Chains A and B, each alone.
Chain A
Amino acid sequence: MNKPGVEICTLIIENRECGGRSDQTILEVAEEYGIFIPTLCRLSGLSNIGACRMCLVEVKGSNKLMPACVTKVQEGMEVTVNSPKLAEYRKTVLELLFSERNHICSVCVTNGHCDLQALAQKLGVNHIPMPYIHPHLMVDASHPRFLADHNRCILCTRCVRVCSEVEGAHTWDLMGRGTTVKVITDLKRPWGESESCTGCGKCVQVCPTGALSEKGQAAGEMLKRRQFLPYLSMMREVGR
């Protein structure tokens, strides 16, 4: 049942011999073998973009680190998932994310249900060594049902991808450069005035943090419901 040009590869991930198809990524094969690689921007059902750099792995013979979510497997590859260097880089990425915006977990709507918070705990981030930037950011409460709190945004673009790839509206996108990048609705109009937004709320549910939430939630109350995504993604594939 293989697609033309797709071959079966044998490779080594974390000292284990693994088999995969040449159209699969290192991350997909690792997951089939129960090998954990941390991810943050990635969400199954959306395209992979390798933005957050959490899934960086070492590939023998290359002096560059590779994002496992967008690197296809090859015959004879030797992949290292856990090393002191990778652990250090992953922690630093998380620390920089915390230092860049105002992540006040204790009063956040997703406290206890947040992908950033959970990953920080899992990877042993217990303080942020670099000074916090404390940027002055706004909360967009113009939408009747949803809130966009840029203080909590990590620019993973899950909202951009789900809106474009699954809902087909492409209301969300990015604006700016470097640390000033923000997610915007339409051409930076308030969310409530967006003409393209269908109000479906998929962006809210896939957001890993408290950046996008439903109105009326107190600290720790915003649970994200993502059950719809595998089904809609499957239907999209079928329709192609």
Chain B
Amino acid sequence: MTKAKNPKARVATVWLDGCSGCHMSLLDIDERIILLEEKIDLVYSPLVDAKDFPENVDVTLVEGSISSVEDLHKIKLIRKNTRVLIALGDCAVTGNIPSMRTVFPLSEVMDRVYDENADINKQLPTKIVPALLERVMPLHEVVDVDVFIPGCPPSADNIFLAVSELLEGRVPNLTQTTRFGA
């Protein structure tokens, strides 16, 4: 009956190489998620069932760094189909903990995990799981990023503020309320 003049904003959230802590922090906005729900359509997310990243997305929040060939493929598609791309959390913004392996050659990392530290079935994975990149990268090293929300994880308040501001057509300024590491 009260069909809004403006259709709901199409919002997506993506989980690349991160721990899902940023998504946990997103859920920590608690009852404010109902306010968001009135304004957005969550078209793609680990929290919904869509399998393929859709076209024509207004805002995408991306958690995690670019660590595998799959991440690389996804982030390029996400960028192509997204108007405002948000790097959510330190892994997406800096590489953070996933990037700590970049100081070692990839072959050493693989041997350490799948050979030295494996008790049974020692073998390097070659099927199904995507190949890791030699170098773990923050999102902006691969694609243009519109908004950075540092933090490990960023607080629920900052995530809510960022999305709310964008829905009002403003670019959020989070420099004084967010920092690397917290």
Taking beta carbons and an 8 Å cutoff, which residues of A are in contact with B?
98, 102-108, 111-112, 114, 117-118, 120-121, 124, 126-129, 131-132, 134-137
* Distance from A98 Cβ to chain B, minimum over Cβ atoms (Å): 8
B103's nearest neighbour on chain A, judged by CB, is A136
* Distance from A82 Cβ to chain B, minimum over Cβ atoms (Å): 16
Residues of B close to A127: CB separation below 8 A = 87, 93-94, 138, 140, 145, 148, 150
Query: Within the complex, which residue of A117, A132, A135, A136 is in contact with B180, where a contact is CB–CB below 8 Å?
Result: A117
- The answer on a CB contact under 8 Å between B95 and A126 is no
* Distance from B110 Cβ to chain A, minimum over Cβ atoms (Å): 17
A105's nearest neighbour on chain B, judged by CB, is B181
Closest 10 A/B residue pairs (Cβ): A105-B181, A106-B152, A121-B179, A105-B180, A124-B175, A134-B102, A126-B148, A111-B181, A136-B103, A127-B148
Residues of B close to A120: CB separation below 8 A = 179-180
- The answer on a CB contact under 8 Å between A128 and B94 is yes
Residues of B close to A111: CB separation below 8 A = 181-182
Give the number of residues in B that approach A within 8 Å (Cβ atoms).
29
Contact with A along B79-94 (1 / 0, CB 8 A): 0000000010010011
- The answer on a CB contact under 8 Å between A126 and B175 is yes
- The answer on a CB contact under 8 Å between A112 and B181 is yes
Residues of A close to B94: CB separation below 8 A = 98, 104-105, 127-128, 132
B156 contacts partner chain A, Cβ-Cβ < 8 Å: no
- The answer on a CB contact under 8 Å between B138 and A134 is no
Taking beta carbons and an 8 Å cutoff, which residues of B are in contact with A?
87, 90, 93-97, 99-100, 102-104, 135, 137-138, 140-141, 145, 148, 150, 152, 174-176, 178-182
A-B pairs with beta carbons under 8 Å apart, 20 shown: A98-B94, A104-B96, A105-B94, A106-B90, A106-B182, A107-B97, A117-B179, A120-B180, A121-B175, A121-B176, A121-B180, A124-B175, A126-B174, A127-B93, A127-B94, A127-B140, A128-B138, A129-B140, A131-B141, A134-B102
Q: How far is the CA of A105 from the CA of B154 in the complex (A)?
A: 13
* Distance from A11 Cβ to chain B, minimum over Cβ atoms (Å): 31
Residues of A close to B140: CB separation below 8 A = 127, 129
- The answer on a CB contact under 8 Å between A106 and B87 is no
Q: How far is the CA of A124 from the CA of B179 in the complex (A)?
A: 9
In the complex with contacts A105-B152, A127-B148, A132-B87 CB distance below 8 A:
no
Q: How far is the CA of A131 from the CA of B145 in the complex (A)?
A: 15
In the complex with contacts A111-B182, A134-B103, A105-B90 CB distance below 8 A:
yes
- The answer on a CB contact under 8 Å between A117 and B145 is no
Known: A108-B181, A132-B95. 17 other contacts (CB 8 A): A102-B99, A102-B103, A103-B180, A104-B94, A104-B96, A104-B100, A106-B152, A106-B181, A107-B97, A112-B181, A112-B182, A121-B179, A126-B93, A126-B174, A131-B137, A131-B141, A134-B99
- The answer on a CB contact under 8 Å between A132 and B99 is yes
Q: How far is the CA of A114 from the CA of B181 in the complex (A)?
A: 11
Residues of A close to B150: CB separation below 8 A = 126-127
Residues of B close to A108: CB separation below 8 A = 181
Of the listed residues A98, A120, A121, A126, the one surrounded by the most CB atoms of chain B closer than 10 A to its CB is A126
Residues of B close to A136: CB separation below 8 A = 103-104
